[in-house]
Amino acid sequence: MFMFEKAVVGSRRYWLWILGLFAVIGVGFLNYLRQLEVGLAITGLNRDVTWGLYIAQFTFLVGVAASAVMVVLPYYLHDWKVFSRVTILGEFLAISAVTMCMLFIFVDMGQPHRVMNVILHPTPHSIMFWDMVSLSGYLILNAVIALVTLSAERKGVAPPNWIKPVILLSIPWAISIHTVTAFLYNGLPGRSFWLTAILAPRFLASAFAAGPSLLILFCMLLRKLTWFDAGREPIRRLAVIVTYAMIVNVFFVLMEVFTVFYSGIPEHKLHFEYLFVGLDGHNSLVPWMWTSVILAVAALVLLIVPRWRRNDRILAVTCVIVFLSLWIDKGIGLIVGGFVPSPLGAITEYAPTLPEIAITLGVWAVGALIITVFYKITLSVRESLA
């Protein structure tokens, strides 16, 4: 198939990495087979916390997927030529992230073999239906754009004209996937933690910090491991994007904190209290949440001071910090925090089980494999041109 022959030639190190990923995927798959047999009872989920690690990863990764727009928009709309070498990396990151999103939804289903019911009985009043539409549309858009532009690059010609409107469409589409994902949560009458209009903007802000951070790390990694150098300028510009997005994200979180605590409405307050101080001695997420806060503050300082932001070594650390902070916030706190306390006031804690973690790592490994293969293809194409 399309340029995949380039993914099957590589160094020893490349193959060891691929093998390692397959091992993680294999372990995840075996655990998933067990989940198919036993049911979701093998997870740590319960009556009160009915969504956990899987759905939280899905939510976080929708953001990573949407963040591709942060390279696509400046490059195609504002003609930022410096992003010419990294735009496709963002698009492949989006493809990998959306694939992981779909897998996380799939592994979370109680009856996965009935998945086609969503298409057989399309239900426009369900946000989940629109999430399926927006995610699959986004996957197709990015796959088409990335493959068409890359094959044009290989042939040394300009991409065909018809791809321009497709690229332009992908920009609002990226915003839509994370907005619809926020709507999954903030349209539910009994779940006060999510019942906030700032959720979608907050999702987008955190996404535009976490995604480009990952992209910066990938550029640095490629520079270290391969001949490919994205250049200093794209990394610097991405760092500015991360800075603004992180500031906006923290600002949005503080707005939420003000609204919740100044109004003092218990239903809204209790979730924050559970996450940050614990309720009735139940406090397993408290250390995680404070870690996220401290990392966020540290990241802001390291990003805002220009000297530190422009230092590649420090920036690499900062990007890891941003990513971790937002992963804890969205990949753990946001989903579980919405379920504790329950609508009946019950405080039931949730912790993922080992099989659940193995399945989660397996899905992440699938994402890493997709990224690796596509980046390998991209680099091989460019190497043959150089």
Partner 1 sequence: MSMDRKSFLKITGCAVAGAIAGGKLGGLVAGAEDAEYLPAPGALTARRWGMVVDTRKCRKQEGCKDCIRACHQAHNVPQIPDKTREVKWIWKEKFEHAFPSQETEYPNEELHGRQVLLLCNHCDDPPCVRVCPTQATWKREADGIVMMDWHRCIGCRYCIAACPYGSRSFNWGDPRPYIPKVRADYPTRTKGVVEKCTFCEERLARGEMPACVEACPEKALVFGDLADPNSEVRRLLRTEYTLRRKPELGTRPEVFYIL
Binding-site ranges for partner 1 (CB under 8 A): 38-41, 45-48, 50-51, 105, 108-112, 114-115, 117-118, 120-121, 123-129, 132, 184-185, 187-191, 267, 338-339, 342-346, 348
In terms of CB distance, is 47 or 78 closer to partner 1?
47
Residues 61, 178: contact at Cβ < 8 Å? no
Residue from 10, 37, 82, 59 nearest 241 by CA: 82
Cα 231 to Cα 38: distance, rounded to the nearest angstrom: 50
In terms of CB distance, is 11 or 348 closer to partner 1?
348
In terms of CB distance, is 90 or 331 closer to partner 1?
331
Minimum gap (Å) between residue 302 Cβ and partner 1: 37
Minimum gap (Å) between residue 42 Cβ and partner 1: 9
Residue from 262, 275, 264 nearest 341 by CA: 275
Take residue 281 and report the two structure tokens written for it: 């001695």
Minimum gap (Å) between residue 185 Cβ and partner 1: 8
Take residue 198 and report the two structure tokens written for it: 């700032």
Minimum gap (Å) between residue 105 Cβ and partner 1: 8
In terms of CB distance, is 54 or 75 closer to partner 1?
54
In terms of CB distance, is 125 or 224 closer to partner 1?
125
In terms of CB distance, is 117 or 284 closer to partner 1?
117
Residues with Cβ < 8 Å from 255, sequence gap 6 or more?
Answer: 198
Minimum gap (Å) between residue 235 Cβ and partner 1: 40
CA distances from 201 to 198, 205, 232, 361, 382 (A): 5, 6, 30, 28, 37
Residue with tokens 């250049």: 231
Take residue 378 and report the two structure tokens written for it: 């991209």
Q: Sort 315 into a burial class: Cβ within 10 Å, 0-12 / 13-18 / 19+.
A: buried
Beta bridge partners of 279: 282
Minimum gap (Å) between residue 337 Cβ and partner 1: 13
In terms of CB distance, is 55 or 241 closer to partner 1?
55
Minimum gap (Å) between residue 204 Cβ and partner 1: 22
3-state secondary structure at position 311 = coil
